[in-house]
Amino acid sequence: MPIQVLMPALSPTMEKGNLAKWLKKEGEPIKSGDVIAEIETDKATMEVEATDEGTLGKILIPEGTADVAVNTPIATILADGESAADLAKAPAPAKQEKAAESAPPTAAKAEAPQPKAAPAAPQAVAEPDPEVPAGTEMVTQTIREALRDAMAEEMRRDADVFVMGEEVAEYQGAYKVTQGLLQEFGARRVIDTPITEHGFAGVGVGAAMTGLKPIVEFMTFNFAMQAIDQIINSAAKTLYMSGGQMGCSIVFRGPNGAAARVAAQHSQDYSAWYSHIPGLKVVAPYSAADAKGLLKAAIRDPNPVIFLENEVLYGHTGQVPKLDDFVIPIGKARIVRSGSHVTIISWSNGMTYALKAADELAKDGIEAEVIDLRTLRPMDTETIINSVKKTGRAVTVEEGWAQSGVGAEIAARIMENAFDYLDAPVTRVSGKDVPMPYAANLEKLALPSAAEVVEAAKAVCYR
């Protein structure tokens, strides 16, 4: 049967792109690895490589076509021995639909519009949150929607709150997290900046020092390296250096860590970097509810807050409490899954591996207690220690590198506060000690996996 070539995605959040050019013509032979077309978005251009050998039987989407939905068939490859007559056996390309657009959030409507979620987006499974009153109505939201609603609610509540960053206004955010905010709050409070992180981060810090409450979005925290002097030397240290006379209520937010095939300069995890700095608070949520409640708390905090999101998680859905003012205190971890044999500690996308591993371990009779730190600085040491005293074993999971990582800090605190309760050494599962490769197969090997967490947990349980 003829093989269909599908419109690929440049990233997990891409919904559509432009088919810029065909590099092969109908009837030309194709080998695996041959570049057959180029696709592009407003941010990047990508080559489409053939994964099968044969002949380019039919081009289904002509070059120059804009807004081609991801996974739309764009061409058909004929295998050896097949002819044009076999093209009829291939499924017809699905009709493209216009991507869903969210209306701006409004004060009169508590529930935000629901863009069509990716079908594979998993639900975050968690125990009841003690911060949510029993019987509270829940709504299903993606993490990007929860973040957007948090900003909108705080901007309605406090006129000093505003958003600034690259493409946060007219383009609705690089990952559509600020969608609808420009329409509701206008260009004075939703500000597109030039591509100069050092510059607009400094403007944000200055605004915070005068009493405003900026939310500074970095398109990725990798770009925040250009602004790290403003974040650390200006935002984090000024309260101390001014003897408490000058504060800086500011939130720096954006995607952190690995995404998908964006290579070493766009895949770094900065959890350990920023959690090292006195004067900063560092938040890294995993679930939609935590993303909303913690972002609201960060915006209200009088100190500078680093709010580390994850691009891979933006489309994941979860239950968010339908409350007038849902705020989660910064600095409090959450026990997501109770257990008695081993404690697994993680945060942000590391929770994906931790929870999958806990499910696998349960099949072998090992009940893991899974802790979502949620906040890296200040760290909730008490919750970690109490859990380890119960289980006697601990495994930390992070996508960042092991040396001087957050897992190393957790292990040190366990040794200092619960050494006599340990039945095995604390074990770390982390990203491999290499820059992130571009190739998909190598990228997968460079990141931690649920299988590695299972192996570590069994090792400390002597199983």
Residues classed as catalytic: 197, 266
Q: Report angle CA 185, 189, 193 to the nearest 5 degrees.
A: 125
User: What long-range pairs does 89-93 form, CB within 8 A, spacing at least 24?
Assistant: 89/1, 89/2, 90/1, 90/2, 90/4, 91/4, 93/60, 93/61
Distance CA 30, CA 39 (A): 18
- Bridge partners of 141? 318
Distance CA 287, CA 355 (A): 12
Q: What is the dihedral of CA 20, 21, 27, 32, to 10 degrees?
A: -90
| Lookup result for tokens 């949620």 | 374
Distance CA 259, CA 270 (A): 13
Helices and strands (DSSP H and E) totals, the chain: 12, 22
For 407, phi then psi, to 5°, come to: -60, -35
For 65, phi then psi, to 5°, come to: -75, 130
The set of residues, in sequence order, having a beta carbon less than 8 Å from that of 198 and lying 6+ positions away, is: 226, 227, 229, 230
**Structure tokens belonging to residue 378:** 């200040």
User: What long-range pairs does 156-161 form, CB within 8 A, spacing at least 24?
Assistant: 156/107, 158/213, 158/299, 160/211, 160/212, 160/213, 161/189, 161/212, 161/213, 161/214, 161/215, 161/299
